[in-house]
Structure 1
Amino acid sequence: MRRLTLAFLLTASTALATELPVRSVTLSSAGLAQVERAGEVAADASVTFRAPIDDVDDLLRSLIVVDTAGTVEGLRLPARDLAGEAFRGLPLRPEDFESRTRLLAALRGQEAEAGGARGRIADAAETDRGLRLSLVTPTGIATVLLREGDEVKLADTALAARVARAAEALAAARSADERRIEIRLRADRARQVAVLYVAGAPLWKPSYRLLVPPMGAAPAATPPQARLQGWAVVENASGSDWDAVRLALVSGEAAAFRQNIYQPITVARPEMPVRVAGAVHVTADTGGRPLPPPAPAPMALGRMAEMSAAAPQMAARARSPEAPAGGAAPAQPATAATAEASAGRVAFVLAEPVTIRSGETANVPFLDIRLPAERVWWIQDLAARHPLQAVRIRNASPHTLPDGLATVYGAEGPEAGVFLGDAEIRAMPAGDGRILAFARDRDVQYTQSGSSADRVTRIALRRGFVSVDMARTEETAVAIDPRGARGMLVIDVPRRPGATPRFPIVSEGDFGLRHEVTLEGSTQTIRLPFERAVRQDTPLWDSGLGEPILLRWQQFDIEQNLRRLPGGPGTLERLQEILARVGPDVPGRADLAAVVEAMQDLRRLLDDARIKARAYRSADQALARARQAAEDRTGPEQQEARRRLNAASREADQAGAAADQAWEAWQRAVVALLQRGS
């Protein structure tokens, strides 16, 4: 397209502006980056830089300007909807900038000056010789031919400025994912100015390289050590190059929020209608009518019910020790990072400047230390067959080590430089220890079995009950064969609610209870007993039978309910079994022996009552037969039948009295038994 200089599009700001470069970046494990831009700013110059549009909300809420010799007037940036705001109220649309003819056509009616003529724009058209512009003048229509480089100048300077801003916004909208930030400052001399803000950033991801000592390493003058190297994966998604910046990597659990403050927000308001005069309604007169008859007396109406209708500064510093060289050990980092620790937070500050271009990913070392270490076997699942290979390390540094994945290599002997496995390191405070499993040892096997045994510890009599307190031992036995290997075995045993472990515990945690034992090369059995208190109550009387003194044998089937009665089968045998297992020094044993003896007496009394109850029932049946015979006989036979009836009656009375006496003797013995104890 041929170029035409439009004067109203050439308006540009003449204010001084300084582009501040990035000087330092602090990446947080909360998914944020603290960015510091700094540089020298001339007197009365503003500060500018570009930021991704997604970072503007965070920038607006966190910006800090450090200017010791000047004052801050404020921050300016284009609207979020650049084109929408820039074209609001203009006779133009973004598509009108596609060609000069279309742009001038959209400005029809505006007063302009071009080619020595002045008038209102009527029409514009491209020709072989140039742009033909028609202007309406006070005396007619003037047509001017504009060649390349000629100007069209709007008479309305305010409109010209707005059109210029629309063109600027249109250009900026082509990179709609960024915004130009301008901070206006006022000062009488040049000075250093810094700008700090917090914005969203990809997480920096730590990973470790762990060199471990061999299994069964004998303690020397110094205990075995592992070498831990930390590397961080860092991504620059800030939209600006990081050229020789100071980089810090922060690990902690800071609260992080987002707030949409760059987007214009309007508050909904209730609409108030415009008050107008009410319309006048007139009812036409239809003339007179006869009077209505009188209404009847009002009837009473029922009443109707009413209805109602919720960032500290760094404190301590500790420099990681240099790792010694030797063999196939990893190379040293260029310069060790500095760890700055504060409450719940640690920052690894790289000593050398880092350069990472926008959109690049880097992997930088931030840690190289030696830690006390010991190779161990680790059993997490007692039902498995082989233990895990693991290393126990202790964080001897003065700061917390953040979460990360460790690639484990051997450090000595046949394992030197050999990949052994991967292990997860969870956040490890200073002085704390972790066991890191990286493989399974299939050369070592183990099996486990369980058993349970009860031991009576106390016997107590309560009214109607014998309470037996027992110590129940629930044991898991682990038989393990290390096949000649020696070393430490760590076993994590699940807790058992209500049970007390009866084996040494070195620590407790989410893993349960941790037990350790040294394996000497041969097969051995490890016992892991738990003990819990168990109480067993044996009732001496079935409460469903009511009060024993009120129980009548005549109205009760003794044989059918024999197991429910004191002295019947079942209870006596259970108490005898318990007594046989009770040691002579167990408290309450003598009381239990007395109850067993009383139950034996009750059995004799109950058996006697059962025999006599059966005798009564036999006598009662004989009495019934004699009574029937007496009713069926006549004459001399009737006299003999009556004699036999009287004899049967006496026998039934005697048998009934004997059964009553035997039952009452059993009842008295039951009552005496139930009154024992507290």
Structure 2
Amino acid sequence: MRRALLLATCLTWPALAPAAAEELPVRAVTLSNAGLVQIERGGTLAPEASITFRAPVEDIDDVLKTLVLRDAGGTVEGLRLPAQDLETEAFRGLPLRPADFENRVALLRALRGHPVEAGGAAGRLADAEEAEAGLRVSLITPQGLRLVLLREGDQVQLADAALAARIARAAAALAAARTADERQVEIRLGGATAPREVGFATVTGAPLWKPSWRLVIPAGEGEARLQGWAVVENRSGTDWEGVRLSLVSGNPAAYRQALYTPIRVTRPGQPVRAADQPRVEADAGARPAPPPPAPMAAAMAPAPRAFRMAEAAPPAAEPLADLPAATAASAAGRVAFTLPGPVTIRGGETANLPFLDARLPAERLWWVQDLAARNPLNAVRLRNAGDRTLPDGLAAVFGAEGAEAGAYLGDAEIRAVAPGDQRLLAFARDRDVQLSAASSSSERPVKAEFRRGVVVVGTLRQEEVALAVDPRGGKGRLVVDLPRRPGATPRFAVAAEGDFGLRHEAMLEGGPQTLRFGFEREGRREAPLFDAGLGDPILLRWRELDLEQNLRRLPGGPDSLETLRGVLEGLPAAAPGRETLAGIVGGMAEARRLLEAAHGAIRSYAAAEAALGRARAAAEDRTGAEREEARRRLNQASLAAERAGGAADAAWEAWQRAVVAVLARTG
């Protein structure tokens, strides 16, 4: 007997580890600020060789989506890698499970019923157990049950070679699953007859490279020094030895797709058809006819210190060492900085590498972003005088001259700056410069328009923000950002517009001054001549109206005339509609006079009616001579009431004629 306990014929996986397979070295790495890395591998490949490399499981989807192969002398046959769930797929259809590899007894018991050879005997495996002398195996043979004692080095061999090979692959998969965070990928090539240069690239997710800036600024207007450093992390699982490293800034559209995950499409189930079962209702006999429906009811109707411009200050010594310049290339909203020399970053390391050293036009200034702030921000305006976009990043700001030379002044955020563009970078608050803001508004009429019974007054609303600034001797530029006011037109010089709103710039000369920011907004309001809820005043009858309660609602009533007079007084002499409005005001004054007269006449009529009622009651209570006197007084009261009613009618009609004339002016 052989000296090995043979449980499988092979422990390798030929489909994934061919004899001729090479892992090509990393030649170039491109990191993107979108969280992507493009890794390019290349080298000389023998004609019969395939390419292998390892990749994290989390990157396999991206590998399958982005792999690009360069091979001038061969053809691509395909890519192979283990299934995502190694254990599940390797053990699918096998009579054993991963837990059965815990010990030899568990493994043999999982193979019960399969034909084997053990200890010189052949039969179907019935059981296995540990004994003091060794491993006792029970076999079922044509002659019956046979017990075989196996000592160390004896073998158990499966009679089914295909099953043995599958178990060998399952064992290999079980070993590979212990490093389940990686997969080995094989790219199979063919058709080559000689060694040749082969390369391939993949794009996968990665920590984005992070630019950090060092900015040295002048005291006033001059030149700033901007140095860029890139924080780079190698989380690819592979060392980068002497690679060409490029840093890309752009906004690519990047997606993830589950290409490595098996996806099964759910299909609708279709039942097995059987003959229809007839349904029969039993006859329960005749029933009375149902009563007719009740008639429907009718439908109801639905109810630091202030800086100063430098005066012939001597130039300060350069505080920063020169950096090697990266090669920059731009295309379609994308800029790539390629470092000048090879870079080595081992897997798991973080590096901080210089990639930019530029001199940019700069101007120190104060910046007001919040009008309620007590002090402005210390800031610098930079202009990108180069031909490449500067990517986003955080800049540590240092001074270049005087007491600030070499001193850290603060941090400033840089948003992407295209060639020729400029940015304001705030890095501190200047507590020596004082600010105070106040707001006011006023409104005046500028025109009048008319429609029947209504004067439409066009207004111009003026809104102002006043900003008092005391620079305490400081001289320089002040930039103020104000929010837009929808519907309002700014009446001050606007230097720029953007997400910040409206930008204004002014020069401070050392002393206190006030900046005023005005806005104008057109509006309109209506001044009705009467309350339309009463109806047309021409059709009103005073006898049907409670005049005391509704006097203010009538043309010429209290308040309406005063409102129109106020509008007329505020209108400029040449304002559109002023002449017509003056006529309306005159007509309303006459209507006021006539309404007051009608009001008095109606009150007199009410008094006469009251006297008539008393006289009528007195005539009914008297007898004899007193009764005759009461009747005489009744006649007099009746005549007086009739005359008072006629006077009230006349006064009301006079008022209505005046109202007709006023309404005719409004159209």
Instruction: Compute the TM-score of the two structures, normalised by the length of structure 1.
Output: 0.83
Q: Is the 8 A contact 1:24 1:245 kept in 2?
A: yes
Residues 653 and 156 from structure 1, CA distance in 2 versus in 1: closer, same or farther, beyond 3 angstroms? closer
- Taking the aligned partners of 2:441 and 2:524, their CA distance within structure 1 comes to 15
- Work out which of the residue numbers 319, 323, 330 in structure 2 matches 1:329: 319
1:65 paired with 2:69, answer: yes
Q: How does 1:121-520 map to 2 (within 5 A)?
A: 158-186=162-190, 187-214=192-219, 217-218=220-221, 224-268=222-266, 327=317, 329-333=319-323, 335-520=324-509
Of 159-168 and 186-195, more deviation after overlay is shown by 159-168
Task: Pick closer, same or farther for the CA change 1:83–1:638 going to 2, 3 Å.
Answer: closer
* CA apart distance, 1:192: 0.7
Q: What per-residue deviation string (whole Å, max 9, x for no partner) do you get for residues 127-165 of structure 1?
A: 99x999999999999988776xx9988776545544443
Please, which moves more after superposition, 571-580 or 525-534? 571-580
Please tell me whether the aligned partners of residues 328 and 416 of structure 1 are also in contact (alpha carbons under 8 angstroms).
Answer: no
User: What amino acid is aligned across from residue 255 of structure 1 in structure 2?
Assistant: A
SS at match of 2:617: helix
Pair 1:581–1:110, CA change in 2 (3 A)? same
Q: Deviations along 1:595-614, whole A, 9 cap, x unmatched?
A: 22222222222222222222
Report the more deviating stretch, 342-351 or 552-561. Answer: 552-561
Tell me how far apart the structure 2 counterparts of residues 664 and 525 of structure 1 sit (CA, whole Å): 61
For 1:42, the equivalent position in structure 2 comes to 46
* Whole-angstrom distance in 2 between the partners of 1:662 and 1:135: 132
> How far does the alpha carbon of each residue in 1:490-544 deviate from its partner, in whole angstroms, 9 at most, with x for none?
1111111211111111122222111111111111111111111122221112212
Matches of 1:658 and 1:107 in 2, distance apart?
Answer: 125
| Stretch of structure 1 that moved more, 589-598 or 639-648 | 639-648
Alpha-carbon spacing, 1:634–1:416, altered in 2? closer, same or farther (3 Å): same
3-state DSSP of counterpart to 1:66:
strand
* Residue 359 to residue 671, structure 1, CA distance change in 2 (3 Å): same
Q: CA contact under 8 A between 1:135 and 1:143: conserved in structure 2?
A: no
Separation in structure 1 between the aligned mates of residue 79 and residue 140 of structure 2, nearest angstrom: 44
Among 28, 33, 44, the residue aligned to 2:37: 33
TM-score by length of 2: 0.84
Using a 3 Å threshold, how does the CA distance of structure 1 residues 454 and 159 change in structure 2: closer, same or farther?
A: closer
Superposed displacement of residue 251, structure 1: 2.0
Mapped to 1, the partners of 2:659 and 2:54 lie a distance apart of 98
Work out whether residues 630 and 642 of structure 1, in 8 Å CA contact, stay in contact via their aligned partners in 2.
yes
* C-alpha contact (below 8 Å) 1:134/1:144 kept by paired residues: no
SS in 1 for 2:388: coil
Q: Structure 1 residues 297 and 267, CA, compared in 2 at 3 Å: closer, same or farther?
A: closer
Single out whichever of 594-603 and 625-634 deviates more from structure 2: 625-634
Paired AA for residue 179 in structure 1: R
- Secondary structure, aligned partner of 1:561: helix
Instruction: Give a deviation string over 1:555-597, Cα, whole Å, max 9, x none.
Output: 3333333222223321222222222223322232222222222
Q: After TM superposition, give the deviation of residue 339 of structure 1 in Å.
A: 2.0
Other-structure match for 2:662: 673
> How far does residue 240 in structure 1 lie from its aligned partner after superposition?
0.8
Letter in 2 for 1:374: E
Paired residues for 1:81-92 under 5 Å: 81-90=85-94
SS at match of 1:364: strand
Number of aligned residue pairs = 624
RMSD between aligned alpha carbons?
A: 3.5
1:455-604 correspondence runs (5 A):
455-604=444-593
Residue 362 of structure 1: how far off its partner (Å): 1.4
2:4 & 2:214 partners in 1: Cα distance? 64
Displacement of 1:194 in angstroms is 0.4
Gap change, CA 1:631 and 1:175, over 3 Å in 2: closer
Distance 1:568 1:264 in 2: 84
SS of 2:549's equivalent?
coil
1:653 aligns with 642
Displacement of 1:268 in angstroms is: 4.6
Whole-angstrom CA distance in 1 between matches of 2:649 and 2:395: 87
| SS of residue in 2 equivalent to 1:193 | strand
Q: CA 1:135 to 1:443, structure 2 compared with 1: closer, same or farther past 3 Å?
A: same
1:308 counterpart residue number:
none
Gaps of 5+ in 2: 276-282, 291-314
Q: Return the offset for 1:355.
A: 0.9
Shift of residue 103, structure 1, vs aligned partner: 6.6
Match of 2:57 among 43, 53, 60: 53
Distance 1:208 1:359 in 2: 24
Percent identity at matched positions? 59
Correspondence for 2:302? none
The whole-number CA distance in structure 1 between the counterparts of 2:44 and 2:538 is: 107
Deviations 1:356-413 (A, max 9, x none): 1111111222222222222221111112211111222222232332222222222222
Amino acid at match of 2:426: A
In the alignment, the residues of structure 2 paired with residue 661 and residue 300 of structure 1 have an alpha-carbon distance, to the nearest angstrom, of 77
Following TM superposition, by how much is the alpha carbon of 1:640 offset from its aligned partner in structure 2, in angstroms? 3.0
Mark the CA change 1:197 to 1:545 in structure 2 (over 3 Å): closer, same or farther.
Answer: same
Provide the C-alpha distance between the structure 2 equivalents of 1:141 and 1:555, rounded to a whole number of angstroms.
125
On the 8 A contact 1:113/1:154 being kept in 2, the answer is no
What CA distance in whole angstroms lies between the structure 2 residues aligned with 1:330 and 1:490? Answer: 30
Report the Cα distance in structure 2 between the residues aligned to 1:270 and 1:515, rounded to whole angstroms: 66
CA spacing shift, 1:421–1:53, aligned 2, 3 Å = same
Q: Equivalents in 2 of 1:144, 1:642: separation in Å?
A: 151
Distance 1:301 1:189 in 2: 100
Equivalent positions of 1:599-610 (< 5 A) are 599-610=588-599
Aligned to 2:601: 612
Q: Which moved more, 1:400-409 or 1:239-248?
A: 400-409
SS in 2 for 1:231: strand
Specify every segment of 5 or more residues in structure 1 that has no aligned partner in the other structure, as ranges: 219-223, 279-294, 303-324
8 Å contact from structure 2 (residues 36, 207) kept in 1: yes
Distance 1:513 1:462 in 2: 39
CA-to-partner distance for each residue in 1:171-199, whole Å, 9 max, x for gaps? Answer: 32232211111112121110111011121
CA contact (8 A) 1:113 1:155 kept: no
Q: How many angstroms apart in 2 are the aligned matches of 1:606 and 1:200?
A: 86
Q: Confirm or deny: 8 A CA contact 2:217 2:399 kept in the other structure.
A: yes
